Structure 1
Amino acid sequence: MRQLISRIPAAISQLIYKRILLAVTILFCVGVGIAMANMSRLSSTLIESQALQNATLYAQAIKEARTLYSSDVVNPLNTAKSINFTHDNKPTKVTVPVPATFLIELGNHIANKNPEVSVRLYSNYPFPWRQKEGGARDDFERQAITYLTQNPNQRFSRIEDFRGKPAFRYAEADILTSSCVNCHNTHIYSPKTDWKVGDVRGILEITQPLETITKKTHSGLKNLFLLLAGISTLGIAGLTLSISRLRQNAKQLENRVRERTAQLQETNVELLKEQEKCDRLLLNILPESIAAKLKDGQSSIADGFAEVTILFADIVGFTVLSAQISPEELLVFLNEIFSAFDGLTEKYGLEKIKTIGDAYMVVGGLPNPSTNHAENIAEMALDMQEELAKFNAKHQAGINIRIGINTGPAIAGVIGTKKFIYDLWGDAVNTAARMESHGIAGAIQVTQSTYNILQNKYLFENRGVIHIKGKGDMNTYLLAGRLVSAVLV
């Protein structure tokens, strides 16, 4: 009983194995049948492909022969008075046939050597002496002329009966070159005298029988089919399909795991790229240290700084310019100016706070405190004047800039939950804004606190006491230039 039970799995396995072999045999038979059914179509494709290749080579050889004849024979002899160029290749005196006649005679020679091959040159504009044989003689030739005249760089071919046998007819355009145009336009018997380089003068047709190519193709396909049938039979006899199937399943499973792993890796890479994009966008809005705090989950950020230097700048004359140009051009100009200012901000290690219309605000000494923030702001202010001068010279504009600077304590941070920005608050910020609004076009006005820091490194003009709205009377100075090189970050 136990032996019987132990034999059951083996019997089942053997039955499954036989069923699988039977299924594989049937599948191979079906495959062979399908292959036989497709053999005719494959044969036709191969025959047409071989015929097209042969015809193309024939046409290329004939045209190259004419080109060589024209360039190396006709052109050098054209100036010799004793040589007569004619379409008649049997004249009564010393003559040389023209290139077209040479091509026709070459085609006739090929046809004489290969009676089943036909080479013809025909046109809608044959010379008078070629009226009978030089024009289209059947539907194929008429269709070839029509199609290739409109598509000179294409080919026109078809398989059809020719002289009672299946043949491949191939035609391509005979295009006029610069060396041919003058001859055709000036010849006394030319049917057309307004030819141009690139015009289709006629059609070169090569017709070849398919019998030889068909026999070779069928023979090759028959041998291939027999070889495939033999290999299939041997394959069926030697298959251990059950084991192969298990191995195949294991490989498929392994491949799927690899594909899924690769997909996960690609997804992770894409996520990292998107994260990098988000980080770059955040760093374009906020300083790096502030962005890091927000990513850590801090909802409100505010830091006090004992001393920073704030710069406000306003473009003078931009309102007048905006009335003279389109909004699109205005935006391009403003972007060009502020992009230059952004470069200066990065150059001197400063923090751009914001732009409002044509006003620009930048600060030095935060979020990372520094000791030379006033010098860096002064250098940027002077460079901003230079950048605007370059802009005016480039665009022939007359705009100017008014700059105000102040040094003092400030609070910086991020507030809100939507469209948040890094901003400054404090009396020092308001005073810097007043320095700009009460300043002079083309000048850099600074407060006493900024002057005290920079007086030994830069040239200043004492503007004196002026009344500042909301601040009262204040003594201010105009930054005129560099006394010595400022110490930069």
Structure 2
Amino acid sequence: MRQLISSSRAAISQLIYKRILLAVTILFCVGVGVAMANMSRLSSNLIESQALQNATLYAQAIKEARTLYSSDVISPLNTAKAINFTHDNKPTKVTVPVPATFLIELGNHITNKNPEVSVRLYSDYPFPWRRKEGGARDDFERQAITYLTQNSNKQFFRTEEFRGKPAFRYAEADILTPSCINCHNTSPNSPKTDWKVGDVRGILEITQPLETITQKTHSGLKNLFLLLAGLSTLGIAGLTLSISRLRQNAKQLEQRVRERTAQLQETNVELLKEQEKSDRLLLNILPESIAARLKDGQSSIADGFAEVTILFADIVGFTVLSAQISPEELLVFLNEIFSSFDALTEKYGLEKIKTIGDAYMVVGGLPNPSTNHAESIAEIALDMQEELAKFNVKHHAGINIRIGINTGPAIAGVIGTKKFIYDLWGDAVNTAARMESHGIAGAIQVTQSTYDILQNKYLFEDRGIIHVKGKGDMNTYLLAGRLVSAVLV
């Protein structure tokens, strides 16, 4: 049976181990899939972020160049009125281009140097000579003009096909500054003459290809992915080794637990046996209910009983017998007699109190009160006579028994803390002892109180008045037999 249980545990452990590895593998695959999906999204975000950063720097550089040109070149020359300013900047003429023309020319130079990059300046109000190329040419530019006119402090961008390749198109508002207002409002060719500082004069757009940025980003993310995959593989390998080690430790621990459990079971069995021995020994000394109260922690036990019946019995002729046989034989005989009395005590539900030498004391009606305690004591007294008669026949002996019985109130309790006993006190106990000591060998002497309870159920002989030591004159009776077959309930 143990081998079957052990095999079942091993199979269950192996199944759990395999399922853990399967779960780890599945989680790894799911994690790789999620990582790839997130890296794809991250790649797009990084590409767009890098492109936006580049375009913003381009735009800032161009606008700073125009601002510098306007403030440090145009303004001094215009004040000196030494040079002509024109929108038509041609190398054959001695002229200086206006800032807008300078910005357009700068964008053309950038585009010529980097064919894939486009820098444009366009508006809803282009000068007449720029109407063809200075206005919006596609949906992006029209949307940029509309959006940035209303949100001049923001940016407008998106990724789309440009000249057959993926590109990032970025636009921001070109806002009129104080140095430009006068020129735009007084020029005879200006399409609008009510410009104010802060108005959106046009849109600066920078378009750049995404191929280079995409390649660099993908290359970086690929390396990152390979690093994460390597780390994940190492992690799974480590986890697998850890699980294997834990499994081995669990087996060792389980073996130790089984061994310790077996030891504990054996110890518990031994403890149970010892507990049973202790309980049996305790029950041989004390009534069961009293023993239970002691085990529950009661240290002082004393109970009063309104009516109990006490019996004292003394073996007559035992002293003579003890002089004729060895102490060992005497002990065997006494043990045989008292053992038969013990069996009778148990038969009638009575409580043996003690034996003193060849004297035997038993009581009815405690520790659990009863209504037939007197009848039970009468029955055991008659049976004691019969048991002793059987003993005499068996061992060819001539010993006899003297019995005294009394009914009355008594106190019962436990005396002592180590070698404790359950004992009785009270005048009724002393009177029962006197009935035995003042009795007749082979007879059962009872008091008036006991006779009053039993007179209609048993045969009695009136012994008459006798003088009892310490009690004075007492009328006593001798229990002679059963009036009818007594049935105890």
Q: CA deviation at 1:362?
A: 0.1
Q: CA deviation at 1:225?
A: 55
- 3-state SS of the aligned residue for 2:324? coil
Q: CA deviation at 1:87?
A: 160
Query: Which residue pairs with 1:405 in the alignment?
Result: 405
Bigger shift: residues 252-261 or 478-487: 252-261
Q: CA deviation at 1:266?
A: 2.3
- After TM superposition, where is structure 1 displaced by more than 4 Å over at least 4 residues in a row? 1-250
Q: CA deviation at 1:321?
A: 0.2
Bigger shift: residues 30-39 or 473-482: 30-39
Q: Once the two structures are superposed, what CA deviation does each residue of 1:350-382 show, in whole Å capped at 9, x if it has no partner?
A: 000000000000000000111100000000000
Q: Once the two structures are superposed, what CA deviation does each residue of 1:374-396 show, in whole Å capped at 9, x if it has no partner?
A: 00000000000000000000000
Residue 256 to residue 363, structure 1, CA distance change in 2 (3 Å)? same
**Do the aligned partners of 1:107 and 1:120 also contact (CA within 8 Å) in 2?**
yes
Q: Distance in 2 between matches of 1:464 and 1:444?
A: 14
Residue 461 to residue 14, structure 1, CA distance change in 2 (3 Å)? closer
Q: Distance in 2 between matches of 1:84 and 1:396?
A: 165
Residue 247 to residue 127, structure 1, CA distance change in 2 (3 Å)? farther
Q: Distance in 1 between matches of 2:268 and 2:471?
A: 57
Q: CA deviation at 1:406?
A: 0.3
Q: Distance in 2 between matches of 1:47 and 1:295?
A: 83
Q: Distance in 2 between matches of 1:196 and 1:331?
A: 137
Query: Which residue pairs with 1:383 in the alignment?
Result: 383
Residue 25 to residue 341, structure 1, CA distance change in 2 (3 Å)? same
Query: Which residue pairs with 1:271 in the alignment?
Result: 271
Q: Once the two structures are superposed, what CA deviation does each residue of 1:132-158 show, in whole Å capped at 9, x if it has no partner?
A: 999999999999999999999999999
Residue 410 to residue 47, structure 1, CA distance change in 2 (3 Å)? farther
Q: Once the two structures are superposed, what CA deviation does each residue of 1:418-459 show, in whole Å capped at 9, x if it has no partner?
A: 211000000000000000000000000000100010000000
Please give the TM-score of this superposition, normalised by the length of structure 1.
0.50
Aligned counterparts, 1:60-139, within 5 A = none
Bigger shift: residues 409-418 or 187-196: 187-196
Q: CA deviation at 1:15?
A: 29
- 3-state SS of the aligned residue for 1:307? strand
Q: Which runs of 5+ in 2 are unaligned?
A: none
Residue 163 to residue 414, structure 1, CA distance change in 2 (3 Å)? farther
Q: Distance in 2 between matches of 1:130 and 1:336?
A: 141
Q: Distance in 2 between matches of 1:170 and 1:393?
A: 132
Q: Once the two structures are superposed, what CA deviation does each residue of 1:19-61 show, in whole Å capped at 9, x if it has no partner?
A: 9999999999999999999999999999999999999999999
Q: CA deviation at 1:259?
A: 1.1
Q: Once the two structures are superposed, what CA deviation does each residue of 1:302-331 show, in whole Å capped at 9, x if it has no partner?
A: 111110000000000000000000000000
**Do the aligned partners of 1:82 and 1:94 also contact (CA within 8 Å) in 2?**
no
Residue 3 to residue 166, structure 1, CA distance change in 2 (3 Å)? same
- 3-state SS of the aligned residue for 2:79? coil
Q: Distance in 2 between matches of 1:56 and 1:363?
A: 113
**Do the aligned partners of 1:300 and 1:416 also contact (CA within 8 Å) in 2?**
no
Residue 443 to residue 18, structure 1, CA distance change in 2 (3 Å)? closer
Q: Distance in 1 between matches of 2:442 and 2:434?
A: 16
Q: Once the two structures are superposed, what CA deviation does each residue of 1:105-154 show, in whole Å capped at 9, x if it has no partner?
A: 99999999999999999999999999999999999999999999999999
Q: CA deviation at 1:280?
A: 1.4
Q: Distance in 1 between matches of 2:452 and 2:410?
A: 18
**Do the aligned partners of 1:20 and 1:241 also contact (CA within 8 Å) in 2?**
no
Q: Distance in 2 between matches of 1:304 and 1:442?
A: 32
Q: Distance in 2 between matches of 1:182 and 1:396?
A: 157
Q: CA deviation at 1:296?
A: 1.4
- 3-state SS of the aligned residue for 1:441? coil
Residue 90 to residue 435, structure 1, CA distance change in 2 (3 Å)? farther
Residue 252 to residue 329, structure 1, CA distance change in 2 (3 Å)? same
Q: CA deviation at 1:487?
A: 3.3
Q: CA deviation at 1:300?
A: 1.3
Q: Distance in 2 between matches of 1:391 and 1:65?
A: 139
Please give the TM-score of this superposition, normalised by the length of structure 2.
0.50
* Bigger Rg, structure 1 or 2: 2
- 3-state SS of the aligned residue for 1:79? helix
Query: Which residue pairs with 1:38 in the alignment?
Result: 38
Q: CA deviation at 1:346?
A: 0.3
Q: Once the two structures are superposed, what CA deviation does each residue of 1:142-185 show, in whole Å capped at 9, x if it has no partner?
A: 99999999999999999999999999999999999999999999
Residue 299 to residue 227, structure 1, CA distance change in 2 (3 Å)? same
**Do the aligned partners of 1:21 and 1:241 also contact (CA within 8 Å) in 2?**
no
Residue 377 to residue 68, structure 1, CA distance change in 2 (3 Å)? farther
**Do the aligned partners of 1:311 and 1:404 also contact (CA within 8 Å) in 2?**
yes
Q: CA deviation at 1:234?
A: 30
Aligned length: 489
Q: Distance in 2 between matches of 1:433 and 1:179?
A: 139
Q: Once the two structures are superposed, what CA deviation does each residue of 1:68-87 show, in whole Å capped at 9, x if it has no partner?
A: 99999999999999999999
CA RMSD of the aligned region, Å? 32.0
**Do the aligned partners of 1:438 and 1:468 also contact (CA within 8 Å) in 2?**
yes
Bigger shift: residues 83-92 or 400-409: 83-92
Q: Distance in 1 between matches of 2:48 and 2:173?
A: 20
**Do the aligned partners of 1:375 and 1:487 also contact (CA within 8 Å) in 2?**
no
- 3-state SS of the aligned residue for 1:336? helix
**Do the aligned partners of 1:372 and 1:487 also contact (CA within 8 Å) in 2?**
no
Q: Distance in 1 between matches of 2:88 and 2:391?
A: 76
Q: CA deviation at 1:415?
A: 2.3
Bigger shift: residues 453-462 or 217-226: 217-226
Q: Distance in 1 between matches of 2:80 and 2:361?
A: 86
- 3-state SS of the aligned residue for 2:226? helix
Q: Distance in 1 between matches of 2:355 and 2:177?
A: 65
Residue 17 to residue 132, structure 1, CA distance change in 2 (3 Å)? same
**Do the aligned partners of 1:310 and 1:362 also contact (CA within 8 Å) in 2?**
yes
Q: Distance in 2 between matches of 1:92 and 1:479?
A: 164
Q: Distance in 1 between matches of 2:260 and 2:295?
A: 31
- 3-state SS of the aligned residue for 1:215? helix
Residue 68 to residue 312, structure 1, CA distance change in 2 (3 Å)? farther
Query: Which residue pairs with 1:462 in the alignment?
Result: 462
Q: Distance in 2 between matches of 1:136 and 1:173?
A: 14
Q: Which runs of 5+ in 1 are unaligned?
A: none
Residue 320 to residue 37, structure 1, CA distance change in 2 (3 Å)? farther
Residue 64 to residue 275, structure 1, CA distance change in 2 (3 Å)? farther
Residue 181 to residue 446, structure 1, CA distance change in 2 (3 Å)? farther
Bigger shift: residues 195-204 or 388-397: 195-204
**Do the aligned partners of 1:123 and 1:203 also contact (CA within 8 Å) in 2?**
yes
- 3-state SS of the aligned residue for 1:411? strand
Bigger shift: residues 413-422 or 341-350: 413-422
Query: Which residue pairs with 1:153 in the alignment?
Result: 153
Residue 53 to residue 366, structure 1, CA distance change in 2 (3 Å)? farther
Q: Once the two structures are superposed, what CA deviation does each residue of 1:243-268 show, in whole Å capped at 9, x if it has no partner?
A: 99886554333211211122222222
Q: Distance in 1 between matches of 2:410 and 2:294?
A: 21
Bigger shift: residues 219-228 or 52-61: 52-61
Q: CA deviation at 1:271?
A: 1.9
